[in-house]
Copies of this chain bind each other. A is one copy, B any other.
Amino acid sequence: MELTGPIVLSDNRYGKAENRIVRIYRDSARHEIRDLNVSTVLRGDFADAYVSGDQSKVLPTDTQKQTAYALAKKPGVQPVEDYALALAAHFVDETEPVHSARVEIEEFAWQRVAVGGLEHDHTWVRQGPEVRTVTVTVAGKGVEQRAWVIGGVDDLVILKSTGSQFADFLVDDFTVLEPTNDRVLATAVNARWRFAATSGVAWDEVYAGIRTAMIEVFATRHSKALQQTLFDMGEAALEAYPVLAEVRLAAPNKHHFGYDLARFGIENHGEVFHAADRPYGLIHATVSRQDAPPAGPAWEP
């Protein structure tokens, strides 16, 4: 097929990615820390920059960086969702060519250390691998302006050593997998939840509560497949927080293969496993409230 139509710019966006902002609150002897990776993305009237090289409507990505650091002082980053909303609104409100702004934040957790059994005022150790995420989109000027907040977690690595099966699946000519009624189930949950509100939410508490709800259902409910477990986790989050409109989950099945020790005359009843790297199953699920408000541009990258 030969296309002959004119060549056009059909979509564009740009921003500054991965500003590594660390904010210390030191108003009292007991300091607080928020450790962020902040990315900003602007959409708007930027076609000239691409098509003719005219930069007159382009706010430099360096300026976006300066702004991200400046607003980390005031209004500050506590809670992170309000910071993201303020930063995104700043670009839309103060920069004429910007139609919408997206702020994506990873927050790295730090745990206050104990000294002699007491929490220390200004020392922490990093906790991971899990990372909390916040994604905010602000679109429109003045009274037309709307906003969306998506929370999330990446790399919540979780494992159960029993209470998981995989059997009674479809079989074809290439199926050699044996069904199993007792296996290790391990994954690294990547989840995103869309809020139906942008204010009046106890952001930090809700994050902790969703995490707990998902972990508890993973632990306690028997798994017939990772698919079922993901659905259950999304459902648990929605049930726990009616302010949530939908939850999107992506989870690798981190295979733990029982190691064949029978060759050596050794019994292995679910005790010795090889943790494989690649390939891995990859399961996606979206769980929603049927009365969820429209997502608008919330999920646009």
Contacts and interface: CB of A to CB of B under 8 A. Distances in A.
B20 A161 contact: no
A142 interface: no
A173 B261 CA distance: 12
Contact of A56 (B20, B52, B124, B168): B168
Interface string A1-43: 1111111111111111111111111100001010100010100
Interface in A257-299: 259, 261, 263-264, 266-293
Residue of A54, A227, A280 with highest tally of chain B CB at under 10 A: A227
Interface in A98-139: 110, 113-116, 120, 122-130
A51 B235 CA distance: 10
B172 A58 contact: no
The oligomer's copy count stands at 4
A67 B174 contact: yes
A283 B122 contact: no
Given A225-B53, A238-B7, A20 B278 contact: yes
A290 to B, nearest CB: 4
11 contacts: A2-B243, A18-B278, A21-B273, A39-B282, A53-B225, A58-B225, A73-B267, A124-B160, A129-B129, A173-B264, A176-B263
